[in-house]
Amino acid sequence: MTDCIICKIAQGTIPAQKILETDTVVAFMDIAPQAPVHGLVAPKAHIRNVVELAAHSPDLSQELVVAIAEFARQSGISDDGFRVVANTGDDGGQSVDHLHFHVLGGRSMTWPPG
Ligand code: 5GP
Ligand code: ZN
C-alpha cells in the first residue's frame, strides 16, 4: 500500500532501526518508545489487523510469533518478561492501519492498561 508507514519501512523507503527481517516479517524499534525496549513486529504484507491475519496462512502467524520471541531474545528482555500488544481498531487505539505487535520490556508493566 502506497501511503502506509509500515509498508514503507518494510520496503526500505523510509528509515527505521530494524532488528530483524525475513521474507515475510520485519521487527524495528518504535519511534516513540513507551518502555526502555519498545519494538514493533509486523508482516511485510499490508494486513490490517489480527482479524485479517486469521484469514491468511497459519504460517504467517507462526512467523510473527517466532519474530516476537526472537526480538525479545535479541533485546535481552526474554528472561525478565515483556508485554505483547496488538492495538486493534478505534476502541483498541490503533493509529497505524497495518498489523503490528508492540513488544515492550525493560521495566515492570502495570495492569489494567488505559
Ligand atoms: P498503534 O497506535 O497503531 O498501536 O501503534 C503505532 C506505533 O507506530 C506507535 O507506537 C508509533 O510511535 C509508531 N510509529 C508511528 N510512526 C512511526 C515511524 O515512522 N517509525 C517508527 N519506527 N515507528 C512509528
Ligand atoms: Zn501497510
- Residue 92 located in a structural domain: yes
**Position 110 confidence tier, pLDDT thresholds 50, 70, 90:** very high
The reply to whether 18 falls in a domain is yes
The whole-number pLDDT of residue 25 equals: 98
CA distance to 3, 26, 40, 42, 102, per residue, from 12 (Å): 14, 11, 15, 14, 20
Q: Which residues are catalytic?
A: 100
Domain presence at residue 93: yes
Q: Average pLDDT, stretch 44-68?
A: 98
Mean pLDDT of 48-65: 97
Q: Is the pLDDT of residue 47 over 80?
A: yes
Q: Rounded to whole angstroms, how far apart are CA atoms 72 and 79? A: 9
101 domain residue, yes or no = yes
* Structure confidence at residue 1 (pLDDT): 74
Cell numbers given for 46? 499490508
Ligand 1 atom nearest to CA at 94: 3
CATH number, residue 80: 3.30.428.10
pLDDT for residue 58 is more than 80: yes
- Residue 114 included in any domain: no
The mean of the pLDDT values for the chain is: 97
Residues 6 or more apart whose Cβ sits within 8 Å of residue 22: 63, 67
pLDDT at 11: 97
Residue 62 lies inside a defined structural domain of this protein: yes
Instruction: Report the distance separating Cα 23 and Cα 9, nearest Å.
Output: 14
Nearest residue CA, atom 12 of ligand 1?
Answer: 32
Say how many domains are in the chain: 1
Residue 111: inside a domain, yes or no? no
Residue nearest to atom 17 of ligand 1 (CA): 31
Pick the atom of ligand 1 nearest to 96's CA: 3
Q: Which domain holds residue 26?
A: 5-105
Q: Is residue 41 part of a domain?
A: yes
